[in-house]
Amino acid sequence: MTTVPPVLDVRDLTVDVRAAHGPVRLLHGVSLQLRRGERVALVGESGSGKSVFARSLIRLDDAMTVGGSVQFDGADLVTASERRLREVRGQGIGLVFQDPLSSLDPVKRIGDQVMEPLVIRGVPKREARERARDVLDRLGVPNAARRMDAYPHEFSGGMRQRVCLAMAIVAEPAVLIADEPTTALDVRVQEQVMQLIEEISADGGPAVLLITHDLGLVAGFAHRVAVMYAGRLIEVAGVDDLYADPRHPYTRGLLDSVPRIDLHEGDLTAIPGTPASPFHPVGGCPFHPRCAAALEHCAHEEPLLTVLPSPMPFHDRQVACHRAGEIVHGRTA
């Protein structure tokens, strides 16, 4: 497995935006690999930089200055030409956003919007329409052929998100990035959409990067989990390892704030303090002001993401914490 080159190889990705008083760093050197058939979840509080990560991979925003490297399909997307990027967008990497209503052009018919990634690439209208219909069918849009002539406001929230999924996968990308795809949906519909994404990624489908703040979605879905805090990855681990044995105090805090069937209600706790802001960076470990296990040292030196030795093969995990070695099950030994 390790010998297979990753489909998406992000190394040391940095993102800055211009603000009133000079540039502000939103991502501080993030590295993450995605392998074929893999489902990875990127979790963190809102404002941690998850969405910025997704958008900067294909350089969606002009205002962002991107550094580092994003290897995809033999090219570095950070330095690639606008033309090359347009080829990758949609066809190489598909994106699904949080709010399905605002993701759709309100004055265009559904069918035309689903066909668009194909039409842009010169696929004949008739063929594009057929393929769009097939994808909508597969995603469980009833009466797809007829519904393609409808407008977004005539669809329910769940159906709209299916349409958005269809737009993202119709050109058969190698990577699907879903940015909070269920946040705007009812709980019941959430499950259906997650189910669909899982089905899409099965048997030869795209590798999936799920971005979410909801750890409850991750457990049954992802193979690996990357935890982001203040624009840095602070822990990356296999899903079982992470749930069973979180090594970073922040990961522990996140898990404790999610209701779980195997724990009593009284055990729910919130992480104290307020989330980090890129506009007010702190020295040392970005989490230290909120960390119960923080030592004086933590305020001065930023811990790097380092590999923890694991007794089992393929279970390498990475943590960025000075005390990772002492912490077992999220608590100091």
Partner 1 sequence: MTDLLQRPERLRIRPRVRRRTARRRMTWSELATYGAVLVLLVLAVVGPWIAPHDPYLVDQRNTLLAPSGEHWLGTDGTGRDLFSRLLAGARPSIIGAVVTVLAAATIGVVVAAIAATAGRVVDGIVMRICEVVLSLPVMMTGLGLAVALGPSQKSAVIALILASWPSFARLARSEIRRVMVSPHVEAAQVLGVSRWRLLTKHVLPNSLDTVYVKAAMDVGGVIVIISSLSFIGAGAQAPSAEWGAMVESGSRFLNNAWWVTGAPGLAILVTSAAFSLAGDALRARLDPMLSSSLGEAPR
Partner 2 sequence: MSVDQRVATYAAKRALACAFIVWGIATLVFLMIKAIPGDEAQSAAGITATPAQVEQVRHRLGLDHSLPVQYVDYLGRLAHGDLGTSIVSFRPVREELTERIPASVELVGSAMLLDVLVGVPLGMLAAARFRRTTDNVVRWVAILASAVPLFWLGLMLQSFVGLKLDLLPLSGSQTIGKESPRVTGMATVDALLAGNLSGFGDAVAHLVLPAVTLSIPFIGFVSRITRSSIVGTLQSDFASVVRAKGASESRIVVRHALPNSLGPIVTFAALQFGWMFSATVLVESIFGRPGVGSYLADSVTQKDTFAVLGLVLFIGTVVAVASAVADMIQLLVDPRIRAAQVGAPA
Residues in the site for partner 1, rule: CB under 8 A?
17-20, 24, 47, 61, 63-64, 277, 279
Distance CA 142, CA 139 (A): 9
Are the C-beta atoms of residues 84 and 91 closer than 8 Å to each other? no
Smallest distance, Å, CB 24 to partner 2? 18
Asked whether the beta carbons of 176 and 209 are under 8 A apart, the reply is: yes
The amino acid occupying position 219 is A
> Residue 172 binds what, of partner 1, partner 2, none (CB under 5 to 8 Å, by partner type)?
none
Nearest to partner 1 of 13, 293 (CB atom): 13
Of 44 and 94, which CB lies nearer to partner 2 in the complex structure?
Answer: 94
Least separation, in Å, of the C-beta of 287 and partner 1?
Answer: 19
* Partner whose binding site includes residue 102, from partner 1, partner 2, none (CB under 5 to 8 Å by kind): partner 2
145 binds, among partner 1, partner 2, none (CB under 5 to 8 A by kind): none
What 3-state class would DSSP assign to 270? coil
Using CB distances below 5 to 8 A depending on partner kind, what does residue 108 bind out of partner 2, partner 1, none? partner 2
Nearest distance in Å: CB 45, partner 1: 12
- In the complex, minimum distance from the CB of residue 93 to partner 1, in angstroms, rounded to a whole number: 22
Task: Name the residue nearer to partner 1 (CB basis): 57 or 236.
Answer: 57
Nearer to partner 1, 20 or 270 (CB): 20
From the list partner 1, partner 2, none, which binds 182 (C-beta under 5 to 8 Å, kind-based)? none
Alpha carbon distance 107, 232 (integer Å)? 39
Residue with tokens 């066909």: 115
Tell me whether strands 8-19 and 64-72 are parallel, antiparallel or unpaired. Answer: antiparallel
Phi-psi region of 197 (alpha: psi -120 to 50; beta: other; left: phi over 0): alpha
Contacting positions for partner 2 (CB under 8 A): 55, 58, 60-61, 86-91, 94-95, 97, 99, 102-108, 116-117, 120-121, 151, 153-154, 164, 167-168, 171
Name the minimum Å distance from CB 282 to partner 1: 17
Tokens of 119: 């039409």
Measured torsion, CA atoms of residues 158, 49, 211, 315, in degrees rounded to the nearest 10: -170
In the block, tokens 């899903």 appear at 239
Quote the tokens at residue 108. 């265009």
- Asked if 136 and 162 touch (Cβ cutoff 8 Å), the reply is yes
d(CA 167, CA 95): 9
Nearer to partner 1, 83 or 280 (CB): 280
Nearer Cβ to partner 1 (28/248): 28
Cβ-based neighbours of 60, under 8 Å, separated by 6 or more: 95
Q: Which does 222 bind (CB under 5 to 8 A by kind): partner 2, partner 1, none?
A: none
163 binds, among partner 2, partner 1, none (CB under 5 to 8 A by kind): none
CB nearer to partner 2: give 151 or 189: 151
Q: Which does 19 bind (CB under 5 to 8 A by kind): partner 1, partner 2, none?
A: partner 1
- Cα-trace Rg, the chain: 21
Nearest distance, CB of residue 295 and partner 2, angstroms? 42
Q: How far is the CB of 52 from partner 2 (least distance, A)?
A: 13
* CA–CA distance, 186 with 135 (Å, rounded to integer): 23
Phi-psi region of 111 (alpha: psi -120 to 50; beta: other; left: phi over 0): alpha
Min dist. Cβ of residue 51 to partner 2 (A): 10
Q: Which is nearer to partner 2, 57 or 285 (CB)?
A: 57
Give, as one character, the DSSP assignment of residue 124.
-
